[in-house]
Structure 1
Amino acid sequence: MSTDGPHHLFSRQPGRLPDTTEGLSVPKFVAFGFLASIIPVLLLFQKTLLHPSTIYIGENQDSVQFMWYLGWFWHAVLNGHNPLHTSLLNAPIGLNLMQNTSVSTEALLFGPVFYLFNPVLAYNLAFAAGVILTGLAAMLLLRQLRVSRWLAVGGGVLIQLAPYSTAQSADGHINLIFSSVFVLASLVVIVRVLLHSILHPRILGTVFGVLLGMLFYTSAEVFATYAFIAVLSLVIWTRLSPKRVRQVIRLVPLPFLLWGLSITLLVLSPGLYTFFDGTQIPSLAKAVMPVGVFVTDLLNPVLPTSVFLFHIHLTSVLTDRMSGDLSEKGAYFGIPTILILYWAIRKLWPSQLYRGLTILFVAVFVLSLGPKLHILGLYTPIPLPWILIQHIPLMREALPSRLMFYDDVIAVILVIGAIHRVLQTTSAEKRKKNARMSMLALLTLFLLWLPRVDFASQAMPALQPALMPKGEIYKRIRNQPTTLITSSYFSGAYFMGLAAQLKFTVPFTNVYGFPYTSEFLSTVKPQVQRTNSIYTSVYAHLNERQAVTAIKSFVSKRHPRYILDAKPYSPVLPKQLSQALNSLYGEPYTVNGLRLWPIRK
């Protein structure tokens, strides 16, 4: 078994990394790395930069949900409430925020911006910070793997622009963008401990535990998949060389393990208790997310979606046929990238570190395919390994397609590692030739993964005067349980933006911004099955009699004081739905297009 080169997994080095780069000192590396990490932000925020307080990243309703969460943490703390649970959504039952991507870590850091300025600016700053910190953490990770500083910077930018991250950015998934930061930063610590001697194991253990805690409070889903991938990695390398793995584990300082484990458990304990506390888990109004929808399609790696600059109409049509929404189709590599990756694997195969990474890459991709194989949207009966782990606690909340983050990182590490190796040749002429080829390979990846010029963004609707503190509608609904009604799933979650603008002064009976609940679904199940869409509210398919039944069922369980039809956050209600509300509660109180129905007891 070969142990050649500086990349052998078990060759521990003294604390300082060897300087294999000419002309780029540590201060220049830091400065250049930071400037380079801003490039992806400029690409993603093209429409947002000039109006950061009104225009935000994301083309669907998820972004405004995170705005609400960014403000809730400090509102709860300053008012003596539990920041991991809220009664202002799903009122009067409340909502377990640990099960609803509540980004408590980011809320802790950026919540003050929410109050000092506005929700949109807080969200945009948090999103931009997540992208930049992802790049910086990736650069540090590559340096810990003894890659030259120039290549570490280039690899960091590629990880920022990785297809998974670009796809998730299109839907404004700040939780998944920031999760990347903590995963990569914790990997820096792990590699530091495994490959280099460390002087302060207790400090490093504490940092590691805090990073894992911050990851958990950003996304319990990513925390679970990260733990699973870590175990899978250990199994793979143990199979490759069990004796040497045991040797490395023995070299890990005991204080690092004790402090890391203790801090992790201490930080996680409130969140774990809340997550598994059945008394706080609402039994109503779960979103309809069919199993096996958000998975990697077998052809997605070679077909770019519309989020990328270089795509054609045909690839958009083909990827639209794949299951799931745009943000979950982030498995694209491109045929040139796959060929470059194949070259890198061949170059690095003698290294035990990279051989294990290659096996892990393949295993993760297979897992991302989900419980059954999908080919261009066709759901086949072919079972896959995910079916064996999909019911593990925490893992059952994970979407298989999101495992592609790990494959993107592994792919970049493999390519950068191979380029670093070929540039170490002693022949000046050959080194110059390899440098040109390496630059071409990096440029190819960069161009293939560029986001489209008009990247997804939209403007927050201005708050209507009637909903401002002195407005007539606001005076009525303040501190009163209110139902925001809509016939569209996509407008339903935009209500979270309205809720954020109202600064937690109105308890809403809506759940997670969705316009439907389990009571409605049970009432009109045949209609839901006929529409065959998880994105259409059942309200859009009810006649007046059915609408009356559904509304009465909801009101009897949630006891709202008002029902609000809020424009411009919602499209025009279907005529039969408006008639049902009028027949139950009379003509609404109307101000500038806003309609409010008081619920008579």
Structure 2
Amino acid sequence: MWNTSVPLASIVLWPITHFLGILASYNTLVIISLPLSAISMYFVLRMFSFGIVASFAGGLLFGFNPYMIAQSLGHTQLTSPAFLIPNLFWILWDLFGGQRRSSKFNGLLLGAVVVMMLLLGEEVMTTAALISMFGIIITFIMNKGIHAVKVGYIVRSLLYSFGMIVIFSGVPLFTQFFGPSIPHGQLQPPNVYVTDLYNFITPGPLQQLSNSGTNAISNRFTGNESEWNSYVSLPLILIFLSSIFCLKKSILLKFSFWMTFIVAVLSMGPFLHIDGTITNIPLPWILFGALPLLNDILPDRLSIYMFFFIAIIFAGFIKQIGNFTKVSQVLSITSILSTFIFLMPLINFPVTTVLLPPFFTNEIKRIIPHNSTVMVLPFSTGAHASAMYWQQASGFWFKMPEGYAISPNGFGPSDNALLDVLNSNSNSNTALKITPNIREESLGYLDRFGIKYIVLARHLSNSQYQEKVISSILNANPIQTSGVDLWIISAKKNIGYYIGGQYWASESEYNWMGKNATIQAFGKAVTVRIAGFWRPLNIPVKVVIKEDNNIMRVFQISTSTNVSFTVASGKIVTISADSTFIPNNYIHNGDDRKLSVLLSVSH
């Protein structure tokens, strides 16, 4: 549940996955999410008595807005539940307003929508709850309170919905918060994935009207192009401001106007960003970003709700055109058409081709025993998901110590020297340098996870470099077969060590650890040195060393401290620090890691 799983979509699309493959299923989900959201918005607007043309335009705007386009690059957990947002609003509007349907019907319907959101994209469910809270507050303010009779209706409805949520969501939620492999700490940096003030008027690289000038501005924003998703455009901003004159005629438009403003401000994160510059001007999100669960929300992703409420205003604006003067009608129609032109996505939308080496469908079952642990290169992280596809293509014949997933150590596997050297200098012609420490830590990593085979896809641009790295570490050349390089690791015990937990490996002698780290020695004992130089303000940190859950040593580490201890072969030692610091708070280098002390490990 902490990950980007979409279990409900996986069940619905199972026939496509089974008969056509996982890529066909994924592409189907990406493609249908946008029109499905547009259709959902259309019908909800129709239920609010908007005309066919106004509802169609509002649906088109919501389903194909810059948020949906940008997140379609790879975040199906954000786009697939978007069609439920209009339905959630329709239910809550009646629940806290008209109350035309029975409390039981509204309650069960609300529970069903929340459960579906949870099983399609938990982050969307969480943000929907947050925005709904603001909507309820605005509703109370606009209605100057609420009648006592309505309170009873609301309570009954919420009890029905709560019962449904517990029945259908209790097990996954219990597993998430009390099950194994629970991550700790903040999963995302708090002030990176936010809406830059210029983003509202600057087309992103996925808009057809973008050019080298606008891309130069976008590239200064923090985050990445899939999160630069709040482009509203000048014509739509003008329509939004013009709707002020229609507010008195419609409670719905008045409500949507204020909600648009609130969500836009929240999406800007804890501090104002202007043209890529992070200012010290605090914004309201600073109050919410520090709360549990909410601190893992990326503020810029609230933009989907901004576009939802703008779509309502857009439809209301079109509905009112008949009441305008002829000159105003011409200007209004021009603004509407300009909006769609300005928001038009790229005609040549980015497409990724994933190659499948024949080894994973033909040779693998002949060479590698079932359920063996295999390291597949390129190593599967957020940037490279090919290995996960190849594993699925093999029928999950083998296990991997990798994958794009959130674990107790954060995103993906914990950092180590092998991954660091594989990812460094990959496009460089400089001589390969594998130090004894790198080799020993790499061998320890392979031994720790029981890796008996390494497979490298030869069609990749940096495959020659990675082949040299693995061959140098193993002192063995690969077997070339069916589009891959294959190393079969000897059953002989490796002499090395493994460092896990919150540890950032590099080619330096000393490397930073976070709150906790684990060291395991293989073959022979290792010496661990702990130092505190480069710590800020000479503030000491208490470090506890445990072996088999028994305390071995306790150190007070300051900037002048350098201590050492030994880890015997076959033993596992944990190192825990009682406090950490964030480098960016002291030297403003953008480094938001939580660090404690420096480690050096050697035989």
TM-score bracket, shorter-length normalisation: 0.7 to 0.9
Query: Which residues in structure 2 correspond to 1:315-464 (within 5 Å)?
Result: 315-349=214-248, 351-423=250-322, 425=323, 436-461=330-355, 463-464=356-357
Aligned to 1:270: 171
| Equivalent of residue 520 in structure 1, options 391, 410, 415 | 415
Deviation of 1:400 (Å): 0.7
Q: Does 1:178 align with 2:71?
A: no
Query: Which residues in structure 2 correspond to 1:34-113 (within 5 Å)?
Result: 98-113=1-16
| Equivalent of residue 194 in structure 2, options 283, 289, 295 | 295
SS at match of 2:375: strand
Deviation of 1:160 (Å): 1.1
Change over 3 Å in CA distance of 1:418–1:112 after alignment to 2: same
Distance 2:187 2:288 in 1: 21
SS at match of 2:372: coil
Aligned to 1:209: 111
Q: Give the number of the structure with larger relative contact order, counting CA–CA contacts within 8 Å between residues 6 or more apart.
A: 1
Q: Does 1:565 align with 2:456?
A: yes
User: Which deviations, in whole Å up to 9, do the C-alpha atoms of 1:411-455 show, x marking residues without a partner?
Assistant: 1111212332343x4xxxx57666555433332221111111101
Distance 1:551 1:479 in 2: 22
**Paired residue type of 1:453:** I
Change over 3 Å in CA distance of 1:295–1:549 after alignment to 2: farther
**Paired residue type of 1:555:** L
| Equivalent of residue 44 in structure 2, options 118, 141, 166 | 141
Deviation of 1:135 (Å): 1.1
Query: Which residues in structure 2 correspond to 1:244-255 (within 5 Å)?
Result: 245-246=146-147, 249-250=150-151, 252=153
Distance 2:74 2:414 in 1: 29
Distance 1:333 1:220 in 2: 26
Aligned to 1:583: 473
Distance 1:101 1:378 in 2: 30
Q: Does 1:167 align with 2:74?
A: no
Distance 2:164 2:182 in 1: 26
> Quick check: 1:487–1:574 contact (8 Å CA) kept in 2?
no
Deviation of 1:194 (Å): 4.6
| Equivalent of residue 511 in structure 1, options 399, 403, 418 | 403
**Paired residue type of 2:264:** F
Deviation of 1:398 (Å): 1.2
**Paired residue type of 2:88:** S
Aligned to 2:442: 551
User: Which deviations, in whole Å up to 9, do the C-alpha atoms of 1:1-36 show, x marking residues without a partner?
Assistant: xxxxxxxxxxxxxxxxxxxxxxxxxxxxxxxxxxxx
Change over 3 Å in CA distance of 1:480–1:338 after alignment to 2: same
Deviation of 1:539 (Å): 7.7
Q: Does 1:281 align with 2:182?
A: yes
> Quick check: 1:482–1:561 contact (8 Å CA) kept in 2?
yes
User: Which deviations, in whole Å up to 9, do the C-alpha atoms of 1:526-574 show, x marking residues without a partner?
Assistant: x89xxxxxxx945859841264244234224322222221244x44246
Q: Does 1:305 align with 2:204?
A: yes
Aligned to 1:187: 89
Change over 3 Å in CA distance of 1:249–1:560 after alignment to 2: farther
**Paired residue type of 1:202:** K
User: Which deviations, in whole Å up to 9, do the C-alpha atoms of 1:44-73 show, x marking residues without a partner?
Assistant: xxxxxxxxxxxxxxxxxxxxxxxxxxxxxx
**Paired residue type of 1:374:** H
> Quick check: 2:455–2:487 contact (8 Å CA) kept in 1?
yes
Distance 1:251 1:175 in 2: 35
Change over 3 Å in CA distance of 1:120–1:583 after alignment to 2: closer
Deviation of 1:483 (Å): 1.4
User: Which deviations, in whole Å up to 9, do the C-alpha atoms of 1:486-543 show, x marking residues without a partner?
Assistant: 379665222222223223222111031799966435x599x89xxxxxxx94585984
**Paired residue type of 1:225:** T
Deviation of 1:262 (Å): 1.0
> Quick check: 1:547–1:577 contact (8 Å CA) kept in 2?
no
CA RMSD of aligned residues (A): 3.2
> Quick check: 1:488–1:571 contact (8 Å CA) kept in 2?
no
Which deviates the most, 288-297 or 319-328? 288-297
Aligned to 2:584: none
TM-score (norm 1): 0.73
Change over 3 Å in CA distance of 1:432–1:364 after alignment to 2: same
> Quick check: 1:298–1:376 contact (8 Å CA) kept in 2?
yes
Q: Does 1:259 align with 2:149?
A: no
Distance 2:411 2:60 in 1: 41
Can you give the 5+ residue segments of structure 1 that lack an aligned partner in the other structure? 1-97, 529-535
SS at match of 1:299: helix
**Paired residue type of 2:6:** V
Change over 3 Å in CA distance of 1:481–1:345 after alignment to 2: farther
Distance 1:494 1:560 in 2: 19
Which deviates the most, 334-343 or 544-553? 544-553
Change over 3 Å in CA distance of 1:141–1:194 after alignment to 2: farther
Distance 2:425 2:294 in 1: 32
SS at match of 1:450: coil
SS at match of 1:379: strand
Distance 2:194 2:66 in 1: 15
Change over 3 Å in CA distance of 1:232–1:178 after alignment to 2: same
User: Which deviations, in whole Å up to 9, do the C-alpha atoms of 1:229-250 show, x marking residues without a partner?
Assistant: 111222233234432x346843
Aligned to 1:80: none
Deviation of 1:382 (Å): 2.5
Deviation of 1:119 (Å): 1.2
Distance 1:441 1:241 in 2: 33
Q: Does 1:219 align with 2:112?
A: no
Query: Which residues in structure 2 correspond to 1:522-541 (within 5 Å)?
Result: 537=423, 540=426
Aligned to 1:117: 20
Change over 3 Å in CA distance of 1:260–1:547 after alignment to 2: same
Deviation of 1:157 (Å): 1.0
Aligned to 1:151: 54
Deviation of 1:278 (Å): 5.0
**Paired residue type of 1:544:** I
> Quick check: 1:373–1:384 contact (8 Å CA) kept in 2?
yes
Compare the two structures and name the one with the higher helix fraction: 1
Change over 3 Å in CA distance of 1:475–1:576 after alignment to 2: closer
**Paired residue type of 1:566:** A
| Equivalent of residue 390 in structure 2, options 498, 510, 514 | 498
Q: Does 1:465 align with 2:368?
A: no
Distance 2:149 2:453 in 1: 63
**Paired residue type of 1:505:** W
| Equivalent of residue 376 in structure 2, options 463, 484, 499 | 484
> Quick check: 1:221–1:398 contact (8 Å CA) kept in 2?
yes
Deviation of 1:456 (Å): 1.6
- Count of equivalent residues: 483
> Between the two proteins, what is the percent identity of the paired residues?
24
Can you give the 5+ residue segments of structure 2 that lack an aligned partner in the other structure? 494-603
TM-score (norm 2): 0.73
Change over 3 Å in CA distance of 1:123–1:486 after alignment to 2: closer
**Paired residue type of 2:292:** P
Compare the two structures and name the one with the higher strand fraction: 2
**Paired residue type of 1:330:** N
Aligned to 1:235: 137
Distance 1:579 1:524 in 2: 9
Change over 3 Å in CA distance of 1:386–1:549 after alignment to 2: farther
Deviation of 1:256 (Å): 3.4
Aligned to 1:594: 484
Distance 2:255 2:483 in 1: 61
Deviation of 1:168 (Å): 1.0
User: Which deviations, in whole Å up to 9, do the C-alpha atoms of 1:209-267 show, x marking residues without a partner?
Assistant: 12111101111111111111111222233234432x34684374665333222112222
Change over 3 Å in CA distance of 1:466–1:372 after alignment to 2: same
